Amino acid sequence: MKVQHKLLIAFLISFLIFIVELAKLQPFESLNSLFNELKFRLRGQSQVDTSLIFLYIDDNAIYSLGGYPLKRSYYALLIDLLTQLNVKAIALDILLTERNSDYPERDELLALTIKNSNRVYLGGSFANLKRSDKDTSNYSKLIEKFLIKANEKNPNFIKGSNFLAPFDELLNSCAGLGHLNYIQLNFPKEIPLIIQIDENRYLPSLSLELSRIYYNIPRDSVKILKNEIYLGRMKIPTKDGKILINYIAGTKGLKMYPVLDFVRSYDAIKSGLEPEINLSEFKDKIVFIGIFSEALGQVVNTPFQDKFPPTGIHLMALNTIIRGKFLTETTSTLNFILSFVFSLLILHLTLMKNISNIIKLLVFPSLVILIFLLFSLALFVIDISIPAYPAFAILFSSLLGVIYTFEIERKKMIEIESQRSKIEEMIKEKELKIIELQQKLESLKLMEEKSSLISNLEKTYDEVKELTSKFEDFSDFNINYEINGAELEGIVYSKGGKMEEIISTVQKVAPSDAPVLITGESGAGKELIAMAIHKLSERKDKKFVTINCSAVPETLLESELFGYEKGAFTGATQRKKGLFEIADGGTIFLDEIAETSLSFQTKILRILQSGEFNRIGGTEVLKVNVRIIAATNRDIEKAIREGKFREDLYYRLNVIRIHIPPLRERKEDIPFLVEHFLRKFKSGDIKVSHAVMIAFLNYDWPGNIRQLENAIKRAIIFARSDGRKLIQLKDLPEEIAKSAKGKIDIEEKILNSLREKKFSHSSISETANELGLNRGTIGEYLRGICFRNLYECKFDITKASLKIAGDDPDVSERVKKKLIDYIKNLIENIAQCKSEDEIKSLIKQKYKNLPLRYHPYLEEFAIRFQKGELTMEKLNLNGGDT
Ligand SMILES: Nc1ncnc2c1ncn2[C@@H]1O[C@H](COP(=O)(O)OP(=O)(O)OP(=O)(O)O)[C@@H](O)[C@H]1O
């Protein structure tokens, strides 16, 4: 996908999420609340300001005091006691809207106590919020003195109506009044610090009213602006008059006492007893009185507690203000930018090529979400809150990325399928054409016409072969690993193949301590075999150390293997252990041993014989118990003959000899190795095409299994980057891909092979073995090739032989002999024939195995011979020079 497309998609997703955020759609808002809760929890709890105390009326109190509502005289008692304790303010979070006509004296007592206390702040509540201006309801004139006037107008300030106020006597006697509304009942996120009740007058929240008291600010020094409220000089950042509640704890972080304990403590002091609560701490504090009763349903959900007293919400808001730890939420525009950046990142990651689907589907989205979470949390620690909306954009983009990836793969599969069907159609068409041409050939009389028809036929044959090869490149090859493949310690091989014997040798020799010499070409798996021997031996829990003797200079090699003493050479500042010491009890694998010097070989021989050696620069004789496995890709016997390898070391090492044949000599392993490497490189369900497998089977693999491994690694990358689940010829290096076509032009292959073998006596059998065909087939092809060339060279045997021999005059004599044999055989066979038809039917009958395309050449020769146009003399066959 192009960068512009990614940018556009990221923009559209972010825009969509932006709209969803503005629309405040329910399921998204709920998820957002969950995200908010999570952030509060991850940030952890702390203590609420010590100047705040909460006295709560719990179920126990309600029960002991005769049920709810409590007698108003009880509130009077609490206020009286708190006043005596010299608290700074008392906030009564109880709605006392109606007088109690049965006990007017209790109402009077309460009103009087409130008046005398002169520090009681009462709460009221708007039944309706956000009603239109016109809908203002009547409210008692008595509340006017508690209102805040403002010049600033803001259409977004919350408006309230139907105010449920304390009854008039209470309003008359209290020191202040605040509303108790908050927005969202379950997990209240914010509180409107002011609610508009008419043109330019606002009722503060109980929390704002008490903040004013905390800072001793007169009511007319409260200033309301669009995005802030000033208490004197103290600035409270708001958004349309609302403040986000910065929760810092559940009930554990609050200083809170049950009212019964409070009253009992008071009585205890009076009676000279030890109080349960230290009442002296109430002095100068702001005390809230409220209900905390699960039975009455007076609980709300908060981040730290799902049953939290509603009064606690006002306490949290108040704590937010007096601590000055305001929470700011990122703006929708910033959220849009974050959504865009994260969406772009995730689209880029999920649409990356050469990455497996598992990583794209699971790892990348989880990683990006984690980054977003950590980022949100880091900001939350400094009181900046990002909502969950950018996370929705991430999820949405991941989903889109994944759908896109699968869609591309699906399209590729359909494309491959349709190309395959197209090729299949073409093959059918060509095959029909071949039948048609063959029938036409039968009916033709003149050789000139036949000749052009034959070349047309051959062209069509070649086209079919070409198409078949293409077709095979579009169909996957199924490898039956479970049935015929086997594995031992990571060595993959075919059951019943050449490697089976080697594996059984490995299993037999592993338990002994005898040295092993492994020979084989580079990349054939020598190290793997050595490792298997170690793993299958008693030494498996000890070290397997490997060193490539040709990769390090000789002096370094010795210090690596034998170690050195301090001061053994310049730079030897410390004694160092060698690999032999490190591998004590285990196995050491000396790769490319034939590349070492004779003096080094002597040291190895000593270890083999006695296990003894000296560190470089040391005199102490060290002894180790190490099994030695050596390997070489050289002809070691030749090295001995040339004096480059010690014969005695050879005999010691050669006790057990394992020769690993090169891959080209055990092609039966190839399908299983392919399957093994596809799994090893976690290719998912990528397969190889038939044509690729044919190429693999035909190729010579000079670099052996290592080369095959690398070819598959590269092919997986290529196929993946093209969104294909099929490895095709175009994914292979050219020299390997080329070999897929090797088998197709069989005539050329046969001729090349015979030429290579100089048409020797055994060349036909050897070619047959090499190409996996039988001897008879090769012979018939050669017969056909001879007659065709004879015709093309105007029946000049010498010329034709030279052409068949590939212009090699030495070889052409051998070919000539063969050609003459074929001619004589034909002449003999047609001797009795009288007519052309007889000749044709005889050739059909006698040369049943001759490929059809060569029949016309034999017929032409025979007819001309019968007519006398060709004679033994003309052909120069009577002379002794043949
Ligand atoms: N039979 C096998 N099954 C699976 N993987 C194999 C097999 N043989 C070889 N390999 C793999 O092919 C690669 C080359 O093998 P290894 O290093 O053992 O060859 P080598 O003969 O020691 O090569 P060199 O002589 O270059 O060191 C390794 O990645 C190895 O895991």
Task: Tell me how crowded residue 155 is: count the other CB atoms within 10 A of its CB.
Answer: 8
Closest atom of ligand 1 relative to the 492 alpha carbon: 3
Q: Is the ipTM of this complex over 0.90?
A: yes
Q: Single out the residue of 39, 335, 24 nearest to residue 184, CA to CA.
A: 24
What phi, psi does 124 have (nearest 5°)?
Answer: -135, 175
Residue to substitute in 494, 500, 506, 528 for testing ligand 1 pocket (most ligand atoms within 8 angstroms of CB)? 528
476 Cβ closer than 6 Å to some ligand 1 atom: no
Name 413's Cβ contacts closer than 8 Å, sequence gap at least 6. 725
Report domain 666-735's class.
mainly alpha
Per the DSSP assignment, residues forming a β-bridge with 486 are 493
Rounded to the nearest angstrom, the distance between the alpha carbon of 532 and the centre of ligand 1 is: 12
pLDDT score at 131: 59
Burial group, residue 756, by CB count within 10 angstroms (0-12, 13-18, 19+):
middle
Q: Single out the residue of 484, 416, 487 nearest to residue 679, CA to CA.
A: 487
Rounded to the nearest angstrom, the distance between the alpha carbon of 698 and the centre of ligand 1 is: 20
Residue to substitute in 481, 493, 521, 527 for testing ligand 1 pocket (most ligand atoms within 8 angstroms of CB)? 527
Q: How far apart are CA 650 and CA 636, in angstroms?
A: 8
Rounded to the nearest angstrom, the distance between the alpha carbon of 704 and the centre of ligand 1 is: 8
Closest atom of ligand 1 relative to the 493 alpha carbon: 1
Q: How far apart are CA 532 and CA 658, in angstroms?
A: 13
691 Cβ closer than 6 Å to some ligand 1 atom: no
710 Cβ closer than 6 Å to some ligand 1 atom: no
526 Cβ closer than 6 Å to some ligand 1 atom: yes
Burial group, residue 352, by CB count within 10 angstroms (0-12, 13-18, 19+):
middle
pLDDT score at 743: 45
Rounded to the nearest angstrom, the distance between the alpha carbon of 152 and the centre of ligand 1 is: 82
Rounded to the nearest angstrom, the distance between the alpha carbon of 525 and the centre of ligand 1 is: 3
Rounded to the nearest angstrom, the distance between the alpha carbon of 675 and the centre of ligand 1 is: 16
Task: Tell me how crowded residue 133 is: count the other CB atoms within 10 A of its CB.
Answer: 11
Mapped onto helix, strand or coil, the DSSP state of residue 293 is: coil
492 Cβ closer than 6 Å to some ligand 1 atom: yes
18 Cβ closer than 6 Å to some ligand 1 atom: no
Task: Tell me how crowded residue 192 is: count the other CB atoms within 10 A of its CB.
Answer: 26
549 Cβ closer than 6 Å to some ligand 1 atom: no
239 Cβ closer than 6 Å to some ligand 1 atom: no
The CATH superfamily assigned to 498-664 is P-loop containing nucleotide triphosphate hydrolases (3.40.50.300)
pLDDT score at 534: 96
Q: Single out the residue of 727, 673, 676, 724 nearest to residue 477, CA to CA.
A: 727
The β-bridge relationship of strands 516-519 and 656-659 is parallel
Per the DSSP assignment, residues forming a β-bridge with 242 are 192, 239
523 Cβ closer than 6 Å to some ligand 1 atom: yes
676 Cβ closer than 6 Å to some ligand 1 atom: yes
CB 215 within 8 A of CB 289: no
Q: Calculate the CA dihedral of residues 574, 575, 577, 578 and round it to 10 degrees.
A: 90
Q: Whose CA is nearest to atom 31 of ligand 1?
A: 528
Closest atom of ligand 1 relative to the 548 alpha carbon: 27
591 Cβ closer than 6 Å to some ligand 1 atom: yes
Q: How far apart are CA 549 and CA 546, in angstroms?
A: 9
Instruction: Give 880's Cβ-side CA count (13 Å radius).
Output: 0
Mapped onto helix, strand or coil, the DSSP state of residue 566 is: coil
Decide whether 498-664 matches 666-735 in CATH topology.
Answer: no
Q: Single out the residue of 170, 203, 162 nearest to residue 96, CA to CA.
A: 170
Q: Whose CA is nearest to atom 24 of ligand 1?
A: 522
107 Cβ closer than 6 Å to some ligand 1 atom: no
CB 195 within 8 A of CB 232: no
Rounded to the nearest angstrom, the distance between the alpha carbon of 495 and the centre of ligand 1 is: 19
243 Cβ closer than 6 Å to some ligand 1 atom: no
Rounded to the nearest angstrom, the distance between the alpha carbon of 479 and the centre of ligand 1 is: 21
The β-bridge relationship of strands 621-623 and 612-614 is antiparallel
Closest atom of ligand 1 relative to the 529 alpha carbon: 18
Tokens standing for residue 344: 């772009």
Q: How far apart are CA 425 and CA 504, in angstroms?
A: 49
Q: Whose CA is nearest to atom 26 of ligand 1?
A: 522
pLDDT score at 444: 79
Q: Single out the residue of 434, 327, 432, 321 nearest to residue 40, CA to CA.
A: 327
Closest atom of ligand 1 relative to the 709 alpha carbon: 12
Helices 763-771 and 746-756, packing angle to 10 deg? 130
pTM above 0.90, yes or no: no
Tokens standing for residue 206: 């109980």
Query: What is the DSSP code string of 517-551?
Result: EEE--TTSSHHHHHHHHHHTSGGGGS-EEEEETTT
Q: How far apart are CA 579 and CA 576, in angstroms?
A: 10
633 Cβ closer than 6 Å to some ligand 1 atom: yes
Rounded to the nearest angstrom, the distance between the alpha carbon of 705 and the centre of ligand 1 is: 6
pLDDT score at 374: 93
Tokens standing for residue 546: 């490997």
Judge if the upstream peptide bond of residue 69 is cis by omega within 30 degrees of 0: yes
Q: Whose CA is nearest to atom 23 of ligand 1?
A: 523
Beta strands, E only, 30-152: 52-57, 89-92, 120-129, 148-149
Rounded to the nearest angstrom, the distance between the alpha carbon of 703 and the centre of ligand 1 is: 10
CB 71 within 8 A of CB 103: yes
- The residues of the chain scoring below 50 in pLDDT are 135, 742-744, 880-882
Q: Which helix (DSSP H) or strand (DSSP E) does residue 113 occupy?
A: helix 104-117
758 Cβ closer than 6 Å to some ligand 1 atom: no
Rounded to the nearest angstrom, the distance between the alpha carbon of 546 and the centre of ligand 1 is: 14
Rounded to the nearest angstrom, the distance between the alpha carbon of 425 and the centre of ligand 1 is: 43
**Domain residue ranges in the chain:** 3-30+35-42+328-410, 45-323, 411-472, 498-664, 666-735, 746-867
Rounded to the nearest angstrom, the distance between the alpha carbon of 522 and the centre of ligand 1 is: 8
Tokens standing for residue 139: 């409210």
